[in-house]
């Protein structure tokens, strides 16, 4: 007898408050709403090239970390739900943007490509590993916030990398 097909909807909400007193140092407080509330301080700064003091990570470092960690979390969580054995998960993410500036005007930016190389440390069949990566892609809130198709994934199968 199979379980009835049920759907559960839930919300994930974060609020962020930032303050910038001078230069490029931003002090940001992020609050996660219930059911599992949390608060974290995430300061950012730019390097000297942009007039900052380098006292904290660049803002885009949090983006790259968030995308990578979100995917890794979903891989681990969904491997259990799908019954796919994985080992030590390693993900290398490259976030590539292009900037353009004309004269002294503010520059404009655009995404070029985001790529993720995923090694599940698994001997599971390739089809199962592909299924797991597909589930993680759909379950990662950060990735789902990006332009569809912008993030490209490669999966390590043995000694070769395959597009998934």
pLDDT of residue 50: 87
pLDDT for the residue 54: 95
Task: Specify whether the CB–CB gap between 135 and 78 falls below 8 A.
Answer: yes
Could you tell me if 151 and 116 are in contact, meaning their C-beta atoms sit under 8 angstroms apart? yes
| Residue 134: predicted pLDDT | 97
Do the Cβ atoms of 70 and 82 come closer than 8 Å? no
Q: Are strands 160-163 and 90-100 parallel, antiparallel or unpaired?
A: unpaired
Q: Which residues contact 34 (CB under 8 A, 6 or more apart)?
A: none
What are the pLDDT digits (tens) for 25-34? 999 999 999 9
What's the helix, strand, coil split of the chain in %, to 5? 25, 30, 40
Instruction: Evaluate if residue 40 carries a pLDDT over 60.
Output: yes
The pLDDT assigned to 2 comes to: 60
Domains of the chain: 1-57 (no CATH), 58-163 (3.30.300.20)
How confident is the model over 77-129, as pLDDT tens digits?
A: 999 999 999 999 999 999 999 999 999 999 999 999 999 999 999 999 999 99
Instruction: Tell me the pLDDT band of 22, cut-offs 50, 70 and 90.
Output: confident
How far is residue 29's CA from residue 46's CA, in Å, rounded to a whole number?
18
pLDDT digits (tens, 9 = 90+) for 125-162: 999 999 999 999 999 999 999 988 889 999 999 999 99
Rounded CA gap, 152 and 135, in Å? 14
C-alpha 74: how far from chain center: 10
What per-residue confidence (pLDDT) applies to 148? 85
């Amino acid at each position: 007898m199979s379980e009835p097909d049920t759907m559960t909807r839930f919300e994930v909400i974060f609020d962020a408050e930032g303050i910038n007193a001078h230069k490029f140092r931003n002090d940001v407080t992020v609050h996660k709403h219930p059911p599992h509330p949390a608060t974290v301080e995430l300061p950012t700064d730019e390097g000297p090239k942009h007039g900052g003091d380098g006292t904290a990570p660049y803002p885009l470092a949090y983006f790259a970390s968030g995308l990578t960690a979100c995917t890794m979390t979903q891989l681990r969580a969904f491997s259990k739900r799908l019954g796919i054995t994985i080992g030590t998960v390693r993900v290398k993410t490259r976030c590539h943007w292009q900037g353009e500036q004309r004269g002294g005007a503010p520059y404009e930016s655009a995404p070029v490509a985001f790529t993720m190389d995923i090694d599940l440390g698994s001997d599971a069949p390739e089809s199962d590993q592909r299924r797991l990566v597909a589930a993680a892609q759909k379950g990662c809130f950060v990735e789902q916030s990006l332009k569809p198709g912008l993030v490209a994934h490669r999966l390590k199968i043995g000694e070769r990398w395959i597009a998934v």
